[in-house]
Homo-oligomer: A and B are copies of this chain.
Amino acid sequence: MARAAVLGASGYLGGELLRLLTNHPRLAIAQVVSSGHPGTSLAALHPELPALAGLTTVAGADAVDADLAFLAQPPGEAMKVVPGLLERGIKVVDLGPDYRLPSPELYAATYGMPHADPAHLSEAVYGLTEWFSEPVRSARLVANPGCYPTATLLALAPLLAAGELAGPVIVDAKSGTSGAGAALTAATHHPEAALTVQPYGLPSHRHLPEMRSALERLDTPAPPLVFVPHLVPVVRGILCSIYPTPAPAAHPDSWADALRAAYAGSPFVHVGGPPRLGWATGTNHAFLSVTRSGEAPVLFSALDNLGKGGAAQAIQNANLMLGLPADAGLTAAGFGV
């Protein structure tokens, strides 16, 4: 039984990691770290996880004694602890953004602070698992992708790789409010969030540089991307409605088959009709769809921002890094309703 620590246990991604790990047959919870709530009984912090009621949170990364640490912390925190963890031989999956971008310069421009650990930034493997499984297997540091990039890239990568796209790609994303995290904000205050659809992140969203650089990592020519996220009044789930401009010689009628072929080896990425968000809730599954509006091709991509877009993909990456079966702990299915 491999052993994992979870840092940032009081946030939503940390909670989802713990939820999934309580049902993981090969990876045990070694420590639960919460800087904000040290010394707290898990029974109080996560009453939804009775199996953990006997645990208590510990305060710092120094207390970690495990094969792998999951970091689910705000921007800027992971890069403070990663060097120490790696030094002590502890593998890391970082669910935050600290190691997702290719250069300290781009990180500083995007997150408004200098990168504290450029040495490991260049070592980190971008953990879009279906596309980087080989480097993930041998990585000691994986940057788990953001929820929006995961949803967008799973749909676009096969088509870009095949040269089917040109010109701008418009991504109109709809996200549940859990994606905005546990911090209280007016945008996620129920009376102001429940009856509307809120565009945000304009004129530029932090996930756009991540998407662009991920496409560079894939050696695909990245088209201009227009990305507009919206908060919708659901809790979990992202639906990306994607409006691509096909290349002159493209064959949109073949796109669904191209997506199926690209993910034939993955138990987690599926191609079919327009997806319902619940199908992905709590799981590592993503659902893709290709259709058209008039003559224009339209793609849909759905996943759970806390699942395949967060904690579940982190476990998928950890499984590879630890030599465990790819789907260990990730076999639960999503909801019909």
A interface residues with partner B (beta carbon < 8 Å): 12, 15-16, 19, 22-23, 43, 46-51, 168, 170, 172, 174, 176-178, 180, 182, 184-186, 188-200, 202-205, 208, 224, 226-228, 230, 232-237, 239, 241, 243, 267, 270, 272-279, 281-282, 285, 287, 291-294, 296, 298, 300, 306, 331-337
Contact = CB atoms under 8 A, between A and B. Distances in A.
Interface centre among A43, A241, A273, A285 (most CB of B within 10 A): A241
Contacts of A306: 337
B23 A241 contact: no
Nearest to A239: B197
5 shortest interchain CB distances as A-B pairs: A48-B279, A15-B336, A184-B184, A172-B172, A196-B277
Given A191-B12, A296-B168, A241 B199 contact: yes
B208 A194 contact: no
Interface centre among A185, A199, A224, A279 (most CB of B within 10 A): A199
Contact of A203 (B177, B233, B239, B293): B293
26 contacts: A12-B191, A15-B337, A16-B336, A22-B331, A22-B333, A47-B270, A48-B335, A168-B296, A177-B191, A182-B337, A188-B191, A190-B193, A191-B337, A194-B234, A195-B235, A195-B278, A195-B337, A199-B274, A199-B291, A202-B293, A226-B294, A228-B241, A228-B243, A228-B293, A230-B241, A243-B243
Contact of A196 (B192, B203, B276, B293): B276
A34 to B, nearest CB: 13
A227 B337 contact: no
Contacts of A48: 276, 278-279, 333-336
A274 to B, nearest CB: 5
A49 B293 CA distance: 27
B202 A174 contact: no
A83 to B, nearest CB: 30
Contacts of A296: 168, 224, 226
B235 A191 contact: yes
Contacts of A16: 336
Nearest to A277: B196
Given A15-B336, A232-B197, A233-B234, A182 B188 contact: no
A23 B285 CA distance: 14
Contact of A233 (B190, B204, B243, B300): B190
